A and B are shown apart, each in its own frame.
Chain A
Amino acid sequence: EDQVTQSPEALRLQEGESSSLNCSYTVSGLRGLFWYRQDPGKGPEFLFTLYSAGEEKEKERLKATLTKKESFLHITAPKPEDSATYLCAVHLSNDYKLSFGAGTTVTVRA
């Protein structure tokens, strides 16, 4: 059965304290791995798509990487405005729908 697991469930950081979020997946035929950001009371907002192992994408303080079994979202020198829930999702080669992990809620304290 295809599965997407995110860890940790919650992460509390001090402003400037870099850290990483993990998304591991057990799927066959991965077409793409997606990262989304979700703020409270809002819908998820697209961040990155990764297609193949070794690929990296960056946006401001965020960098996403992909291996054959997992993806990492690195947050470098976070600021309070980086506080959100980060969701990863997989897109399988035989379909157009996304399967989501449960998310990691990041809180950055000033």
Chain B
Amino acid sequence: DAEITQSPRHKITETGRQVTLACHQTWNHNNMFWYRQDLGHGLRLIHYSYGVQDTNKGEVSDGYSVSRSNTEDLPLTLESAASSQTSVYFCASGANTGELFFGEGSRLTVL
């Protein structure tokens, strides 16, 4: 069965460290997305990609970057982690219909 997996599921890091969250999908979807979820804010879009070598900024992209070198993977990098980036991060993929399939989430704590 096709799926979308995120790793690590839980991570604790220190302020200023670089962190990379992995996302891998086997749906063969062109579109991939990273969201963060915080209490009171719902899901907010960080970055997204519509295909290999394509990346775009979402509404809360400051301090984050992504790269898309193949169809299956969209890693999210926090260049210098800040306490404000403590959150739960969700990766999603989808076709052009708009329906998205989400991973199980990565809980990041920045101390």
Contact = CB atoms under 8 A, between A and B. Distances in A.
Given A31-B98, A43-B103, A49-B99, A96 B50 contact: yes
A43 B97 CA distance: 19
A12 B104 CA distance: 26
Given A96-B31, A96-B50, A97-B48, A44 B43 contact: yes
Contact of A41 (B96, B100, B105): B105
Interface in B36-72: 40-45, 48, 50, 58
Interface string B79-104: 00000000000101010111111111
Contacts of B35: 100
A49 B41 contact: no
Contacts, number: 54
Most B CB within 10 A of own CB, among A98, A100, A101? A98
Q: Secondary structure of the A side of the interface? A: strand
B94 A96 contact: yes
20 contacts: A34-B100, A42-B105, A43-B105, A44-B102, A45-B102, A49-B99, A87-B42, A96-B31, A96-B94, A96-B96, A96-B98, A97-B31, A97-B45, A97-B48, A97-B58, A98-B33, A100-B35, A100-B42, A102-B41, A102-B42
Interface of B: 31, 33, 35, 40-45, 48, 50, 58, 90, 92, 94, 96-105
